[in-house]
Structure 1
Amino acid sequence: MAEEESAASRKFVRKVIPSDNSCLFNSIAYCMAPVDNIHQTSSALELRELISAVILSDPEEYCEAVLSKSNQEYSHWIQQSSSWGGAIECSILAGHFQVEICAIDCQTLRLYRFGEGRGLSRRMYLMYDGIHYDAISELEGRKEVTLFRAEELAIALVKTFRDKRQFTDTSNFSLRCLVCGQGIQGSDGAQKHAAETGHGNFAEN
């Protein structure tokens, strides 16, 4: 396919996003900023508020069975800076920005698509390492392109980090909080610790 040019002719890079519990929002904002001129310093808060409003506006679609919380509880929870975003947020933001969001799991190389089937022409790629999202961009000379269609090459980039084991095995792993040093078990423990303390910088033990 024309969009899948040889790796030798295209260069892709991982844009490391700070580990501050808002990495998903900031990764998406980073990809959209050159296109929609989003202000990076306020983007995470704005996107959280947007998601909260969408959820509140449609309590039938975003019900407790979907959210694992009541509609109002979730809309309040997602606005907190310690809350992590995931599939629900990706789906809402794909619709808001009218762009496919493709998250590539670093451990399995599985690609999760949000916004697929809506006839969207724009696409972004994110790398997910088990607990953290980073943006993927393409370099064209001095220009950085964050919306592109090159699935195989984006996955090939993520594979280089998988081969270096730069992912967190969330099914069987222990973490250490780099802020306070506390030992934590699993992604649920990390989310609980982040919610209780506001700490969002973890490393695998």
Structure 2
Amino acid sequence: MDTRRFITIEGTEGAGKTSALTTLRDWIAARGDEPLITREPGGTGLGEELRRVLLGHRERGMTAEAEVLLMFAARAEHFETVIRPALQAGRWVICDRFTDASLAYQGGGRGLGVERVRELADWLLGDLTPGLTLWLDLPVELGLARAAGRSTPDRFESEQQRFFEWVRSAYAQIARAEPERVCRVDAAQPLDRVQRAITAILAARFND
């Protein structure tokens, strides 16, 4: 299956994923295609139910192991029923978070270990990876300041700063290991400069 048109967006809180998603959608639409926009956890009926459990505060005592397994349960349903059919039909797919989020948040943030979580990903998806991942990177303190006051913090957003430092470190580890796939974008820049950086990456990657 051709995954070159499968683009994922990653980053910690306040990184600007929503704005980046809009930039991606507009760039693709300007070339005559309508991308599928989806998210994780979510993207399906089951996925959205699991999202409410994972992000809600009802289960604040959830173990890291239960959390990562719920994430991958949502991902299995999402990939098989939404992402795979779209890619097989030749569509662009833009996903707000994917497997890298589990490697970073559960592997790094929760301390399960990136490689341990990667084993789970390999079992579920094999060697399938997105064609391009945009990692919106910025200092954790800045991201949290941006995110403050947007809405009632979810279960992840309520974590302490050191949790997000571990998440950011895990993202950096992934980017170092897969530089051809993962493109770091300096998300601390003003929005217009972030947008230009994203479109430059897209042009370099897809304008043959």
- So what's the TM-score if we normalise by structure 1? 0.29
Structure with the larger strand share:
1
- So what's the TM-score if we normalise by structure 2? 0.29
Structure with the larger helix share:
2
- Rg (Cα) greater in structure: 1
